[in-house]
Structure 1
């Protein structure tokens, strides 16, 4: 018997998302091979706990092979000596790294959330701040860039056991080699969280922290890597046992086979020349969007981007981040407000707006599309009066941009099936 109540909700979500332009930097649209879990039969509901070859369930030999292949592909893509592909998310991957490397009360050095750090790097209300002594570092308030000399000074003074590098709202390349040097000099272990830039790292467009000795690398899967939700921890062979036991039984029990299959398909795609071309387009689109917004009079944190994301600084405009996010949402454009360093506004309001290009690139947006999108964003954010005629005009432009035929739209098949499902519902 069909669950019409749930079917209608899912159809509404499909329509809402497919009728939007997604500029959320933490989002992406996976290729069909990654999304098509429904073709994977029993894998959809199979789960088991434990490590490869040592699962305390009968009948898990094939499960082990799926996990082994997925881990092999992770090592092939990123180059780590050992890969654990069981974490359910990037945040849990980070917690596993901390659990493996720290004791309660030990010092963890990481970027402040207000400067671009992730919640799992030590937000005051995150469990990491309850378990460990979190010492934050910040970006330079003038340039928005990482102040490596200051970070070294803090590390030498505080002597952390773990230093975290990798961010959710930092638009520039990270010098993982320098971070590794600082960590070694103070007797710390570097944890490089590449959740946002994993796709760029896999494609060779950003330095790979797996090249640094005794470094633990964590990542989520659903951002630039273009997968579905999950996490990976890569580490030297010397840390294998500590990392594995931190994940199971330390943090998680069973892992689902469907998630591993999805991750394996994601990693197979990430090893192809087409994936590198896609990542090059992601970065090119982000840089083009950044340049157009700058030319249009908006301020950007660090003045641009090296990656897939950019952060608009709205402090010289009448808008808050929340208001800017709301204006774009009125047009069917998805973004998210973001705190700035020394932000004068509270977090729920914020003075920044984070934009990213992974999803629009997956959906086939080219240079002309980005130029039109940038102009729509500029008009929306510079408008003095946000009234119905203005919204209607810009919404028509956004809808026309979104519905342009694009043969390489990663969600084209989903859009067609959603339209057919709507007729049934």
Structure 2
């Protein structure tokens, strides 16, 4: 392995010269990754090649703008500022304060709310902060179960949120695979949760926020809506808005918002702001990642542009065409469609498991992930479902016709596995070549030997 380039001598390691430069390796302030660390630079180049050539259908991924990417690598990386604008623990925060205020202003404008916290490192951190602000371990939270599309940060035993409250879970109707609002109401009236959580990781249909508001009001509960997978559609007006029904909204800033990895907490309830701030920092994290806040600010500025409205509607159109084509080719889709960027395929009728098909599709140049299916007892490590997302492909420029073609390739490969065809490997190779050819003319960042320009 090639190590860091360095001119450090034994003497220099003990005593710096007058300028202190002896403590630095060559190119510390000027070197590009390929000059300073070829090992990492090579991996960056390989990942960029993979992203360029693959059809990206992982629902939690997207492609950020060049401006967002640059902000992530800005000098805000160097700054620590525990606290909030005007109330920092560290000095030198003038421009950090201005940056965070700008991001907050844009978040409020994008989502039509009065208050925003842009500090959470992730959507999970945002959810944990809400739990910390509102709940004690003896309190009940009513959330969607993981096997029916909920997220583990809504009280799942595998996540810290599961220790922050006592979770009760609602699900979906067996026939329609839609949220069972009658069951939800019964559970709410029986267990009197302090918080009801809506949204999740793999529920593809629009949620009846008004119905949830009525249920929450009936028992005096707060309503949290996690819109991580469809936030971009909300901003674009292509999906029902959680406000004014929700007390609190959380989201990630990547996925359908096309921004930096991180989270947001949004509310119109001024009485909750201080509790949410303290629960975020120092409650569940310390200093915000200011380089990520800078990138979030750019992302939130981008979503306020008219072209983002067109993008959101294009994502939904592509997702619906993708779902329809899979069904036309014999692959069952949960709820027979989608109202979000998500499409969830059920492989159980074909006698297949999700994880082996994910791996096969990856070899074929199409990336997605396995997904649990309601009322299925298959090992979650294998599962019976596939989860697709159309946000990233739409960003690259996939058209309706291209999306239909990709869905056809997936159905072909799934059918080959179902039939036990000996030609699966050859079909994977053929689809991989077609996928690379499809993506080749679509825009991504300019590529150099080991990185971006």
* Residue 363 of structure 1 pairs with residue 396 of structure 2: yes
* Matched residue, 1:31: 65
Q: How many angstroms does 1:422 deviate by?
A: 7.9
* Residue 399 of structure 1 pairs with residue 399 of structure 2: no
Structure 2: how far apart are the matches of 1:421 and 1:70? Answer: 32
Q: Residue 344 of structure 1: SS of its match in structure 2?
A: coil
Q: Is the 8 A contact 1:85 1:231 kept in 2?
A: yes
* Residue 421 of structure 1 pairs with residue 450 of structure 2: yes
Structure 1: how far apart are the matches of 2:109 and 2:138? Answer: 36
Structure 2: how far apart are the matches of 1:318 and 1:205? Answer: 35
Structure 2: how far apart are the matches of 1:9 and 1:270? Answer: 31
Q: How many angstroms does 1:321 deviate by?
A: 0.6
Q: Is the 8 A contact 2:42 2:450 kept in 1?
A: no
Q: Residue 342 of structure 1: SS of its match in structure 2?
A: coil
* Matched residue, 1:198: 231
Which deviates the most, 99-108 or 5-14? Answer: 5-14
Deviation per CA, 1:76-130, whole angstroms, max 9, x where unpaired? 1112221111100000100111111111210000001011011101222211212
Q: Residue 34 of structure 1: SS of its match in structure 2?
A: helix
Select the structure of larger CA radius of gyration. Answer: 2
Structure 2: how far apart are the matches of 1:43 and 1:315? Answer: 48
* Matched residue, 1:10: 44
The structure 2 residue matched to 1:322, chosen from 335, 355, 370, is 355
- 1:9-408 superposed matches below 5 A: 9-37=43-71, 40=74, 42-212=75-245, 215-235=247-267, 236-383=269-416, 384=419, 385=421, 386-403=423-440, 405-406=441-442
* TM-score of the superposed pair, with normalisation by structure 2: 0.88
Structure 1: how far apart are the matches of 2:378 and 2:255? Answer: 28
| Gaps in structure 2 of 5+ consecutive residues | 6-35
Q: CA separation of 1:38/1:201 partners in 2, compared to 1, >3 Å: closer, same or farther? A: closer
Q: Is the 8 A contact 2:115 2:270 kept in 1?
A: yes
Q: Residue 353 of structure 1: SS of its match in structure 2?
A: strand
Q: Residue 328 of structure 1: SS of its match in structure 2?
A: helix
Q: How many angstroms does 1:39 deviate by?
A: 6.9
Q: Is the 8 A contact 2:318 2:403 kept in 1?
A: yes
Q: Is the 8 A contact 2:239 2:339 kept in 1?
A: no
Structure 1: how far apart are the matches of 2:372 and 2:166? Answer: 23
Q: CA separation of 1:38/1:64 partners in 2, compared to 1, >3 Å: closer, same or farther? A: closer
Structure 2: how far apart are the matches of 1:66 and 1:107? Answer: 37
